[in-house]
């Protein structure tokens, strides 16, 4: 099985945002142009940053994102540079529109996975979240990629808008010949943070009742399923990926984060300046990673405490797991 992004201890991943521009306006989009900028990186900068990051960990998995990364005309060249540098795997996250005829400019030997975003089993639900026509376009994009021999995965961001359809997605994944299925929990960042009043987060009761069972059901089709545990019982150990994994979230304005929950704030631990990667002064996200609190994830406690439920004596019923450490199920 080809490799792609890994959400486990000791994993190394580069989430490389080539631009923040996108053709869709998804209701839960995490891109925050005030924090991430509106730049589109030029190829010279992309290649320079990939080379610098390869020195840190050339065995990392590279995930090219946006915005919509296939809008970037130099994506094929960026893929070739990452391959030349010897990175562990190369994945392109896409909404399925596959701009610039990307499937004709790279081969399955160049790209380990095209990972498609779909947020509903039905056209009605997905298009309500992601935009009119996006369901049909994504399905066509997956079929085109499969016919050309690419490995495909699918990302489903679970929210109050679509959790009711997760349990019925397995036949669709099977029909589309999806190899890997990633379940994501909606984070309160970007548009979700702006629209807190819409209560897009899923309650602990609904998550625990639906998601693990759906993941097991999907895995029976021979699909590898990755999903966040999210809600830990008080006796479960909490670990922070900032301490036990090696993840970098690179944005076109030069900011480099280690934790995605920090991305709405100027808490990035590193930044590219004149194509040199430098550490930022304290206080930054690194100062949070080693903090030990009963509630688990420190950033969750700070920015989205609504998904912490308390019982009458004031003790925490659940700890919140690190969003970058997930369960993986294979049949």
Domain range annotation of the chain:
12-329
Q: How much of the chain exceeds pLDDT 90, in percent? A: 85
The confidence score (pLDDT) of residue 316 equals: 56
Burial classification of residue 268, based on how many CB atoms lie within 10 Å of its CB (0-12 exposed, 13-18 middle, 19 or more buried)? buried
Topology of 12-329 in CATH?
A: TIM Barrel (3.20.20)
The confidence score (pLDDT) of residue 195 equals: 63
CA distances for 288 relative to 130, 243, 298, angstroms: 33, 10, 7
Summarised one tens digit per residue, pLDDT across range 136-166 is 999 999 999 999 999 999 999 999 999 999 9
The confidence score (pLDDT) of residue 313 equals: 47
The confidence score (pLDDT) of residue 312 equals: 42
Summarised one tens digit per residue, pLDDT across range 226-239 is 999 999 988 899 99
The confidence score (pLDDT) of residue 16 equals: 98
The confidence score (pLDDT) of residue 317 equals: 76
Residues of the chain below pLDDT 70: 193-198, 307-316
Please write down the long-range contacts of 327-330, taking CB distance under 8 Å and 24 or more positions apart. 327/212, 327/215, 327/226, 327/227, 327/228, 327/229, 328/7, 328/8, 328/224, 328/225, 328/226, 329/215, 329/216, 329/219, 329/224, 329/225, 329/226, 329/227, 330/219, 330/224, 330/225
């Amino acid at each position: 099985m080809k490799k792609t992004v890994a959400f486990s201890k000791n994993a190394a991943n580069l989430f490389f945002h080539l631009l923040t521009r996108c053709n869709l306006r998804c209701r839960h989009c995490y891109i925050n142009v005030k924090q991430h900028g509106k730049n589109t990186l030029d190829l010279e900068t992309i290649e320079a940053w990939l080379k610098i990051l390869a020195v840190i960990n050339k065995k990392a998995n590279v995930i090219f994102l946006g915005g919509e990364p296939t809008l970037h005309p130099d994506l094929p060249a960026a893929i070739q540079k990452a391959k030349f540098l010897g990175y562990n795997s190369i994945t392109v996250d896409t909404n399925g529109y596959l701009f610039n005829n990307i499937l004709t400019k790279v081969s399955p030997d160049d790209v380990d996975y095209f990972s498609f975003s779909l947020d509903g089993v039905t056209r009605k639900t997905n298009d309500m979240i992601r935009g009119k026509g996006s369901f049909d376009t994504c399905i066509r994009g997956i079929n085109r990629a499969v016919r050309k021999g690419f490995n495909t995965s699918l990302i489903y961001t679970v929210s109050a808008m679509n959790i009711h359809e997760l349990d019925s997605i397995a036949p669709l994944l099977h029909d589309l010949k999806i190899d890997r299925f990633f379940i994501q929990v909606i984070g309160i960042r970007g548009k979700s943070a702006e629209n807190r009043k819409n209560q897009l987060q899923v309650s602990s009761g609904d998550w625990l009742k639906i998601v693990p069972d759906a993941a097991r059901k999907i895995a029976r089709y021979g699909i590898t399923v990755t999903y966040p545990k999210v809600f830990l019982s008080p006796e479960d150990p909490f670990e922070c990926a900032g301490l036990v994994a090696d993840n970098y979230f690179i944005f076109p304005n030069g900011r480099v984060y280690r934790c995605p929950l920090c991305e709405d704030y100027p808490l990035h631990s590193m930044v590219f300046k004149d194509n040199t990667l430098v550490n930022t002064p304290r206080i930054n996200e690194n100062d949070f990673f080693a903090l030990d609190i009963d509630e688990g994830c420190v950033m969750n406690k700070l920015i989205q405490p609504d998904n912490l439920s308390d019982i009458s004596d004031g003790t925490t019923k659940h700890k919140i797991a690190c969003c970058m450490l997930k369960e993986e199920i294979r049949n």
